[in-house]
Structure formats: structure tokens, C-alpha cells
Structure 1
């Protein structure tokens, strides 16, 4: 038996968005970086890879399709670089994960921020051609709070303060840039936008939030949050930062069309099968689950690092929660009955009809990808679909 297609996003069997890049796309990107092929040749390789990816997503029975973030190097920085007033910059140290360090790049201000004519609009238009009845194209972008946090990194703050001496002016321009982008994206045909946000995942970790000693060797660890090692992050003022992130996120999506489904994905870091933070959602649950104006939350719940399900009681209204119970970090397939049991456990706090299932994060938040094979990636998604068909039949 299979579940009847749901017209409401998110779907019972869902995905976070990013997929492993095929080998020929890695090769094309490397050759382009070395000046061996043209931008047009790289785009052709991306087009081919995305076309093949969409076919695979449809074949496995997903109701949502993404471009796998195949045109990006990072899940967040590429979007920021394409905003007006933002430039790509090198830094002395990459984001530090558990036993891993990323490339040392960031997004830094070069002028006032605006969001018109963003390159991702054309990226979405390419994906839109594959839409059909029962298949929804989705775009994923970093949240406004994620962008704010990147601009407030110690390496970037001098440039940010030079252009925006007033924090409120900075917040206003970030929100306005996102509203412009959302309006243009909607006009291009998008009806499902996901805001990826690891700022909350960092706030719940004592070593980042300031409880239990922030000056640890890992105090600069990051999934791109940008706050690690800065004064606000180590001060323990979790509530102050939570209110700040909430305000910029809500301001950015204010006035969005009613038929555009806006969701958010909360993560604790996902790079090359490594992670950056630990901690349950309780410290931010009232603010994030109770007051952020999104339709659904994609939440990491694949390990004990994410805490228990009790904070879900704070999810307000009729918002949905997508339980990230299947790991994208390792290839071993989860036990089906164990996942079903955890879904049942979550119904202590939210009714089954408000729950969905996905991986805890994407398979390749950066172009490096997680340490998992493509066959294992698709087996994970097939398992999610199988479980969803059984649980919500």
C-alpha cells in the first residue's frame, strides 16, 4: 500500500535538499576553477547532472524535487555571494567541525545589501521545467539569520560595521533584500522555499552559548553560523540572540504570498559526515517553535546530540514538523521498526497528521559531500518512502 499524494507541503516522505554530486560534475568544477573549460561548459555539466537527479527523485517516488544544490559549492555562501553588496573573501581558518576543517572562505560586505536580480532565480527556472502534477520544485537558501551571523563573524565584523554603523539598519536591509528575492522568486513560479538555519543549532550547544566554558578548543567550530568565537556567542545571552534571529527571519518573510509555503531546516552542522554542535531544542523552543512564522520545521533527530522530542510541544498553531530520523552522514541503513517507534514516540507531543519524515540534513551541504555512496543515498530515501507509506497509509 502507498500513501495517497498529499497536496500540503511538506510531504510525508521528504528531503532536506542537497545530494551527492556525480563524479563528472566534480571534474567539471575543478576544470573550470583551473581555467580549462568555459562557464558555458560548466553550466552544461550542471544542467545534465540536475536533469538526471530530478529523474532519480521522481523514480524513487518523491513528491518534491530540488536541483541538489549542484550549482553551489556551499549550502549558504553561494547565495550570500550573489546578493548585491556582498563579496567572496578568504579567511585564515575554515569552519571547524568534529575532526574536520572546511575550506577557509566567507561572505563579506562590500557595500549596501540588496536582493534584486539574484542568480538563484535563474537556477530555479531551470528546475521549474520538471514540475508536473503531484511534483513540487523546491528551492533551498540560507536563512536571514544565517546571513546576519556570517556578517558578524570576527573576521567580517569590521567591514559590516563600516557599512552599517547601526545594527537596525543592517537588519532592515537584510530583511528587505530577502523580501525582494522572495518576490522575484515567486514571480518566477516558486511555491516552496526552505530557509536553512544552523544558528539555532549552535545556540543550544553549551560550548557555543557560553554555559560550561566557551573558550574551548572547539569554540570556533561552525556549520556556517558565524557566531562562534565572537563576543555575543560566548556571553551566554542565548535569549538575546534568539530574539535577534527571530526578528530578522520574520521580517524577511513578512508579506510573502500566502500560497508560497515557507519552511525552515534547523541543523547542528553537516560537513563530510561530521558535525559541529550538540544539544536539545529546549533552550530555543519557545522562540523558534512558538514564534517563527514558517509553515514547518525540518528538524535533526538522528542521534542523541539532538535531545528528546519534548520541545515539540512548543510548536504553535498547525505548523508541521519533519522528523530527521534517518542519517545522511553514514551509509548504514537504519532499522525500519526503530524509526517507526521513534515516530510513535514523537506523537506524544504532536499528532501524527502534523508529522513527516526525512533525513536529518542533506547529503552534501558542501560540494565535498558526506562519506556515503550514491547507492546508499538512494537506499536511505527509499527507506523513508517505505516507512512513510506504512505509517501514514
Structure 2
């Protein structure tokens, strides 16, 4: 009997790969405002080919950049959108713009990875069939994206957005959903066929400590979970049949310490479609 795999690989790499010391040092410099983003990007570009080669050599199909362009899983999306700016220790009243996708978020990342797995050769492929595998690797290249619910889970309705900009969660997520759909659409047009949302949100709903805290705060946790699921379903509505999408959820790992615990049974039947 033929083995059916969806996604089309038996095993895949989910999280980040270890950063080389040169990249770690450069990121510290960048975060300490001692170098430019362009300086950091040069080291990222120099480091990523090695992790791609490692994945190819061990037979991993879902090739990523090892998340070497991110210091943490939640970086990349939100700070790139128009209307959002990273400003430490600043009140929400300083942010006045609506969320919009003014440029690609992970599109250049995909182009860079695509260039590493596609070989430019002058020999006709029928004369060198072994090279075909490299071309086929493009459809497995996976782009990890921070989940759309992460900021709202962390900060709640009160602190996720400025009330002079958005009057409700519905308004806020309407623009965020549009931005995510635009990003996914452009990635698809560029040839991306594998997207992974990094979102520990759902694992938190498995923790009794969080459920208790939400109840004490007067928050309908079942309604909140339903809203988060609906956000994903709206982002992915009408997605092409050959676009593989996964959600990476976990209980956290901060220097070996988990953030939450509990059975996945609470959310198993409610996952996004």
C-alpha cells in the first residue's frame, strides 16, 4: 500500500537551529545599537547556507533558514507591519497608525532560501537527473511566521492596540487578517508551498493556571479560543490546495523552563480547519 504523506515528508524540522557564534555576537551588537541592520544581515546571509546544506545532507525536506534571522520566534511579522513600531518602555498612546502591510515581511527570506536550493546549471536536466532533486526542494522550503494571535494573547484587549486607532478586537484583527493574507498570497506567488505558524497560544489554553486566571479576570476563555481559531480560518480561507500550512504550538522553553502544561485534549477538536 502506498504511503500517503501530508505534508509530503515523513519527518520535518520544526524549531530553530543553533546559531554560529559569529551571528550571536553580531546580533548582540545590533540589539545594543552598535551596528546596522544591514551589517547584521550580511552575517545572516553568510550563516544560512551552512544550515541549508546540513538539512539537505541529512535528508530533511522542509528546509528552513534555521530561524537565523530571528532572535525569538515572535520576531519578524509584527514589527515589520506599518502602524507598529518597536519602542521600548513607551505607552500605547504614542502609536496612532492602523496596521497595514506596506512591504513583504518574509518574501525576501524566501527568495534567499530559494536561491540556495535551486541550482543554476547549463546542462539539460535530462542529462543530469540527479540535479532535479534540488529543483524539487523549492516546494518544501518552509517559511515560519509568528502567529497572528500572539500579541493579543500576551497583552490582551487593553494593551494590544491604541483605543484611538481601534475600538475593538474585531477592528484590530480585521486589518491584521488582511495583512497576513497579503503576505501569504505574495509568498505563494513567489513559489512558497510550505508555511508554518509559530504560535504557542493554543498550548496556553491547555493550562489550568491560565484558564483559572482568565476566569478570575472575567474573560470568557472559550470565547477567546473560538475567536483565535476563527482568525486562523479567515486567514487561510480559500488557500490553494497545494499550499501546506502547519501550526507549531508548544509549552514554551525559556532557558529550559516551560511556560505552561496540560493535556492537548482541551483544544484537539477545535483546531483551525
Whether the TM-score (by the shorter chain) exceeds 0.5 is yes
Match of 1:85 in 2: 83
CA shift for structure 1 position 201:
0.7
Structure with more contact order per residue of length (Cα contacts < 8 Å, sep ≥ 6):
1
- Determine the structure 2 residue equivalent to 1:143: 147
Equivalent position of 1:152 in the other structure: 156
Among 195, 203, 209, the alignment partner of 1:201 is 203
Q: Distance in 1 between matches of 2:38 and 2:3?
A: 38
Q: Distance in 2 between matches of 1:237 and 1:178?
A: 26
Among residues 278, 285, 291, which one is paired with 2:268 in the alignment?
285
Deviations 1:295-322 (A, max 9, x none): xxxxxxxxxxxxxxxxxxxxxxxxxxxx
Matched, 1:245 2:247: no
2:24 corresponds, among 20, 23, 26, to 26
Q: Is the 8 A contact 1:25 1:46 kept in 2?
A: yes
Q: Secondary structure at the match of 1:194?
A: strand
Aligned equivalents of 1:285, 1:8: Cα separation in 2: 18
Map 1:298-377 → 2, pairs under 5 A: none
What is the alpha-carbon distance in structure 1 between the residues aligned to residue 210 and residue 74 of structure 2? 20
1-structure distance, mates of 2:224, 2:216: 8
CA gap 1:262/1:178 in 2 versus in 1, 3 angstroms = same
Q: Which has the higher helix share?
A: 2
Q: Distance in 1 between matches of 2:216 and 2:114?
A: 39
| Aligned-partner SS, 1:174 | helix
**Matching of residue 191 in structure 1 with residue 193 in structure 2:** yes
In the aligned structure 1, how far is the partner of 2:99 from the partner of 2:242? 27
RMSD: 2.7
- Write the deviation string for residues 197-250 of structure 1: whole angstroms up to 9, x where unpaired: 11111111011111xxx3xxxxxxxxxxxxxxxx57844633111111011111
Q: Alpha carbons of 1:203 and 1:247: their partners in 2 closer, same or farther (altered >3 Å)?
A: same
User: Counterpart of 1:84 in 2: which secondary structure?
Assistant: coil
Cα drift, residue 142 of structure 1: 1.6
- The alignment partner of 2:248 has SS state of strand
Once residues 32 and 109 of structure 1 are traced to their aligned partners in structure 2, the CA distance between those partners, rounded to angstroms, is 24
State which of 103, 112, 116 in structure 2 corresponds to 1:117. Answer: 103
- Contact 2:157-2:169 within 8 A present in 1 as well: no
Q: CA deviation at 1:39?
A: 3.4
- Asked if structure 1 preserves the Cα contact closer than 8 Å seen for 2:83 and 2:98, the reply is yes
The residue matched to 2:260 in structure 1 has which SS?
A: coil
CA distance in 2, matches of 1:254, 1:109: 30
Distance 1:109 1:184 in 2: 27
Match of 1:65 in 2: 63
Count matched residues. 252
Contact 2:76 2:105 in 1 (8 A): no
Q: Is the 8 A contact 1:193 1:261 kept in 2?
A: yes
- Residues 61-89 of structure 1 show CA distances to partners (whole Å, capped at 9, x for unaligned) of 11121011111122113321011111114
Between structures 1 and 2, the one with greater strand share: 1
- TM-score (ref. length: structure 2): 0.82
Give the drift of 1:150: 4.2
The equivalent of 2:247 in structure 1 is 264
Contact 1:17 1:66 (8 Å CA) reproduced: no
Find the residue that maps to 2:196 and give its secondary structure: strand
Query: Structure 1 residue 271: deviation in Å?
Result: 2.2
Deviation at 1:252? 1.1
- Whether the aligned pair in 2 keeps the contact of 1:87 and 1:110 (CA below 8 Å) is no
**Relative to structure 1, is the Cα distance of residues 160 and 253 closer, same or farther in structure 2, using a 3 angstrom cutoff?**
farther
